[in-house]
DNA sequence: TCCCCTCCTGTACCGGCGGTACAGTTTTGA
DNA sequence: TCAAAACTGTACCGCCGGTACAGGAGGGGA
């Protein structure tokens, strides 16, 4: 009962790394069982088929992703009271976390699934959609708190601004991976931070350099 | 000789649509030949293997992409002289072009290849890398022209700012596709436009509302 | 102690797919 | 008209996803 979970986790670990490098179609079950040291029957004992594996993989990825954001932004809230300063600190912490990844960001499963839509069932696509909507709600909540204190310099739609955070993260990952420049992603997050800062911080409180 | 090119193009058209929906691994050669009405031998007459197909697909996609940016931003330069206003107009035109796509953006092959890195040879990865670097140079050139006239409100690295354009486009595509909200991508481009505008336009020339 | 449930292994098999080989046929442009 | 270009047809290989099913190790509870 404990043992089963452990094997399952090991399969998911190996599968996640492989899928992020080669996509779902490029990852064979045979290579997964070779690397985990399990038999084919063993694999199918844990996952009915590849779709089931994808589902488990995506759910685990999203949960972990949410946990990381929870930690970062709740830590930022603990350190400073002001909603704007707290959000800016959160982005700073996020960028530091990303630039500390030894081999750069491995890739986002949400993006992988997005580029594989037709291969999976509706449930997976719905899960993926909800993950992005959760990001929108999360960042939207924080931005609305900021808006109550700081009037934006330009009129902006909060949901669209919240989506901008997700966009820059997803796009930054693609750029970082493609360029093989691990730091690009962290830099993009800091650039977004500059945007948010400029949008909400009154000119008087904004020193040059 | 003319006929050959035509068939080749038809294969590439079908393949591009399929790959953007299901990824390379999820697209079978058999389905491509079924849809183009060609035989398997016919297919392999045009492309030695799947890697060769991917190479042709990516090169064609990048060329087309560059052509579109050339058109949009040269048209923007024709319409207004000021480098900042011209760039802002270009982003507006781009966002309009994107929101006019009937079924939303079909996806970016550069991102697809990026999430498939280990499946292709070095040449394809290098092509992909160069495509992103070309974007950086393109937007960087325009931003440098702006910088010569308008001092930025905040100190920013031009290459990183140029990358921000690519990030928002790539990320916006992922969001748009995942959410099945075709308009999200165009909105993200406009949000980026707001950022650029705020960064370079002097406060005096920036009316509220 | 026995038994049952979880967690696997082993073996055999199927059909689809990427890819090869190669001979033959039609189409087309100079 | 003739050669090259652009295919078709057929046969075959090995890998992979997936199915089916029998059986076994090991631990925990009655």
pLDDT tens sequence across A61-119? 999 999 999 999 999 999 999 999 999 999 999 999 999 999 999 999 999 999 987 78
DSSP state of A101: -
Is B207 inside a domain boundary? no
pLDDT band of residue B183 (cuts 50, 70, 90) is very high
Q: For the residues B12-25, what does the mean pLDDT come to?
A: 92
Å from the B30 CA to the C13 C1': 24
Q: At what angle do helices B50-79 and B122-149 cross, to 10 degrees?
A: 10
Verify whether the Cβ–Cβ distance A169 to B169 is below 8 Å.
no
Is any atom of nucleic acid chain C found less than 7 Å from the CB of residue B5?
Answer: no
CA-based nearest distance B5→chain A, Å: 28
Question: What domain count does chain A have?
Answer: 2
Which chain B residues are Cβ-neighbours of A112 within 8 angstroms?
A: 115
Verify whether the Cβ–Cβ distance B24 to A26 is below 8 Å.
yes
Q: With residue B8 as reference, give the H or E element that holds it.
A: helix B2-22
Domain span at A30: 1-47
pLDDT score for B1:
54
Handedness of CA B137, B138, B141, B147 (dihedral sign): negative
Is any atom of nucleic acid chain C found less than 7 Å from the CB of residue B38?
Answer: no
Query: Is A64 found in the same domain as A43?
Result: no
Least CB-CB distance to B174: which of A111, A157, A197?
A: A111
Query: Is A143 found in the same domain as A69?
Result: yes
Cβ neighbours of residue B72 closer than 8 Å, sequence gap 6 or more: B90, B93, B94, B97
pLDDT score for B204:
53
For strand C, give the nucleotides within 7 A of a protein CB.
6-12, 16-23, 27-30
pLDDT score for A71:
98
Verify whether the Cβ–Cβ distance A22 to B25 is below 8 Å.
yes
**For D26, which residue's CA is nearest its C1'?**
A3
**For D4, which residue's CA is nearest its C1'?**
B1
Query: Is B55 found in the same domain as B138?
Result: yes
Is B208 inside a domain boundary? no
Report residue A201: phi and psi, to 5°: -75, 125
Which chain B residues are Cβ-neighbours of A24 within 8 angstroms?
A: 23, 25-26
CA-based nearest distance B15→chain A, Å: 14
As a whole number of angstroms, the distance between CA A163 and CA A147 comes to 16
Query: Is B181 found in the same domain as B127?
Result: yes
B62-65: list long-range contacts, CB under 8 Å, 24+ apart: B62/B109, B62/B110, B62/B127, B62/B131, B62/B134, B65/B131
Q: Annotate B11-23 with b (16+ C-beta within 10 A) or e (fewer).
A: bbebbbebbbbbb
- Is A37 a residue whose pLDDT tops 50? yes
Is any atom of nucleic acid chain C found less than 7 Å from the CB of residue B22?
Answer: no
- Is B209 a residue whose pLDDT tops 60? no
As a whole number of angstroms, the distance between CA B12 and CA B9 comes to 5
Q: What mean pLDDT, rounded, does chain B reach?
A: 93
Query: Is B96 found in the same domain as B33?
Result: no
Query: Is B9 found in the same domain as B65?
Result: no
Burial of B5 (0-12, 13-18, 19+ CB in 10 A): exposed
Handedness of CA A177, A178, A180, A185 (dihedral sign): negative
Which chain B residues are Cβ-neighbours of A62 within 8 angstroms?
A: none
Verify whether the Cβ–Cβ distance A187 to B157 is below 8 Å.
yes
Say which CATH number the domain at B83 has.
1.10.357.10
| Structure token pair of residue A165 | 């955070």
> How many residues can be counted in chain B?
209
Is B144 inside a domain boundary? yes
Handedness of CA A111, B103, A124, A23 (dihedral sign): negative
As a whole number of angstroms, the distance between CA B168 and CA B145 comes to 21
Q: Are A112 and B162 in contact (CB under 8 A)?
A: no
Verify whether the Cβ–Cβ distance B170 to A169 is below 8 Å.
no
Is any atom of nucleic acid chain C found less than 7 Å from the CB of residue B163?
Answer: no
Q: For the residues B83-106, what does the mean pLDDT come to?
A: 97
Across all strands, nucleotide nearest A39 (CA–C1'): C9
- Tell how far CA A184 is from the center of its chain: 16
| Structure token pair of residue A154 | 């330009």
Is B193 inside a domain boundary? yes
CA-based nearest distance B17→chain A, Å: 11
Q: Are B12 and B57 in contact (CB under 8 A)?
A: yes
pLDDT score for B156:
97
- Domain closes at, from A47, A64, A80: A47
Which chain A residues are Cβ-neighbours of B206 within 8 angstroms?
A: 153-154
The string of pLDDT tens digits covering residues A148-160 is: 999 999 999 999 9
Query: Is A158 found in the same domain as A123?
Result: yes
Residue keyed to tokens 């993260």: A169
pLDDT band of residue A195 (cuts 50, 70, 90) is very high
Å from the B42 CA to the C17 C1': 17
Best mutation target among B127, B168, B171 (most A Cβ atoms within 10 Å) is: B171
Which chain A residues are Cβ-neighbours of B117 within 8 angstroms?
A: 21-22, 177
pLDDT score for A117:
75
Q: With residue A177 as reference, give the H or E element that holds it.
A: helix A158-179
- Domain closes at, from A47, A63, A79: A47
Query: Is B186 found in the same domain as B146?
Result: yes
Query: Is A91 found in the same domain as A144?
Result: yes
Rg of chain B, C-alpha, whole Å? 20
Residue keyed to tokens 């406009």: B190
Query: Is A184 found in the same domain as A173?
Result: yes
Say which CATH number the domain at B16 has.
1.10.10.60
Residue keyed to tokens 């949008």: A199
Cβ neighbours of residue B153 closer than 8 Å, sequence gap 6 or more: A198, A206, B198, B199, B200, B203
Å from the A8 CA to the D27 C1': 19
Residue keyed to tokens 């707290």: A86
Is B206 inside a domain boundary? no
- Tell how far CA A123 is from the center of its chain: 20
Alpha helices, H only, B150-206: 158-179, 183-200
- Is B89 a residue whose pLDDT tops 50? yes
As a whole number of angstroms, the distance between CA B194 and CA A144 comes to 18
Query: Is B94 found in the same domain as B173?
Result: yes
Q: Are A9 and A60 in contact (CB under 8 A)?
A: no
Query: Is A85 found in the same domain as A149?
Result: yes
Residue A93: name the closest of A180, A177, A193, A209 by CA.
Answer: A193
Q: For the residues B171-192, what does the mean pLDDT come to?
A: 98
Is B209 inside a domain boundary? no
- Is B206 a residue whose pLDDT tops 60? no
């Amino acid at each position: 009962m404990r043992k089963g979970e452990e094997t399952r986790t090991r399969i998911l670990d190996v599968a996640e790394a492989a899928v992020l490098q080669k996509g779902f179609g490029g990852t064979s079950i045979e290579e997964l069982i070779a690397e985990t040291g399990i038999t084919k029957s063993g694999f199918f004992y844990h996952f009915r088929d590849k779709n089931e594996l994808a589902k488990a993989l995506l759910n685990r990825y999203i949960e972990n992703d949410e946990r990381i954001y929870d930690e970062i932004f709740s830590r930022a809230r603990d350190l400073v009271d002001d909603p704007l300063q707290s959000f800016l600190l959160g982005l700073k912490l996020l960028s530091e976390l990303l630039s500390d990844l030894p081999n750069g960001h491995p890739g986002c499963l949400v993006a992988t699934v997005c580029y594989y839509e037709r291969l999976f069932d509706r449930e997976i696509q719905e899960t993926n959609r909800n993950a992005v909507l959760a990001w929108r709600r999360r960042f939207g909540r924080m931005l609305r708190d900021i808006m109550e204190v700081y009037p934006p310099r330009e009129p902006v739609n909060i949901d669209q601004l919240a989506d901008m955070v997700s966009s820059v993260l997803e796009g930054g990952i693609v750029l970082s991976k493609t360029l093989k420049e691990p730091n690009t992603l962290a830099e993009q997050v800091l650039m977004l931070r500059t945007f948010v800062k400029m949008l909400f911080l009154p000119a008087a409180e904004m020193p040059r350099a």
